[in-house]
């Protein structure tokens, strides 16, 4: 099974794909940041500079597409999901992992306060740079601005996928989401 990891970054998701396939040559990573990919350290995994909206591969190149925690960084999910559909073989599957806002207002307030207030203060108290504090605020801002879950599902369906669904672990903060869909084949 050939796997493409979109938004590979430092390779956390691709590393797990290598374990599952048993062969790093079957896993390919795509990311717009050469700097992030230089931190991946995945021998045998081919890395390509590119964006989700313009994946540098021919049609029907992959059996599985993964993307870990990068959906909120895509400027045009319509274009990205059409590209995902294009590069998957018939019957190919995708799995998108994302951090989403909690649905309950009090949970959102709690998480926002934690990520924009508590963590940056703790980072400064422990000697981390001001950049670290800014990064944590940025994380929350991207989570808050992420495309709503219903729109993600609808856009996957509009791009031609079937069986589009979202799974979120239950709990007070419930922020880790998994989207799955299949290219008909």
Strand order in the sheet with 3-6: 46-49, 27-31, 3-6, 62-68, 88-99, 176-182, 162-168
Tens digit of pLDDT at every position of the chain (185 positions): 999 999 999 999 999 999 999 999 999 999 999 999 999 999 999 999 999 999 999 999 999 999 999 998 999 999 999 999 999 999 999 999 998 877 778 888 888 888 888 887 887 788 777 777 777 777 778 888 788 899 999 999 999 999 999 998 776 567 789 999 999 99
For the chain, domains (ranges, CATH) are: 3-100+146-182 (3.40.50.150), 105-142 (no CATH)
Cα 133 from chain centre: 22
Residue 92's nearest CA partner among 167, 20, 4, 7 is 4
Torsion of CA 121, 127, 128, 130, to 10 degrees: 60
């Amino acid at each position: 099974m050939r796997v493409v990891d979109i938004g590979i970054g430092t390779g956390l998701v691709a590393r797990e794909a290598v374990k599952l396939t048993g062969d790093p040559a079957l896993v390919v990573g795509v990311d717009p940041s050469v700097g992030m990919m230089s931190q991946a350290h995945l021998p045998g995994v081919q890395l390509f500079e590119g964006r989700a909206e313009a994946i540098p591969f021919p049609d029907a190149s992959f059996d599985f597409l993964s993307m870990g925690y990068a959906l909120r960084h895509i400027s045009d999910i319509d274009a990205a999901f059409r590209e995902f559909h294009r590069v998957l073989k018939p019957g190919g599957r995708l799995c998108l992992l994302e951090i989403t806002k909690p649905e309950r207002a009090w949970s959102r307030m709690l998480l926002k306060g934690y990520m924009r207030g508590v963590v940056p203060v703790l980072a400064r108290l422990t000697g981390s740079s001001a950049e670290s504090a800014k990064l944590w605020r940025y994380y929350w801002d991207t989570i808050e601005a992420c495309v709503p879950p219903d729109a993600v599902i609808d856009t996957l369906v509009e791009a031609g996928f079937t069986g589009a669904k979202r799974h979120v672990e239950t709990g007070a903060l419930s922020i880790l989401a998994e989207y799955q869909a299949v290219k008909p084949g």
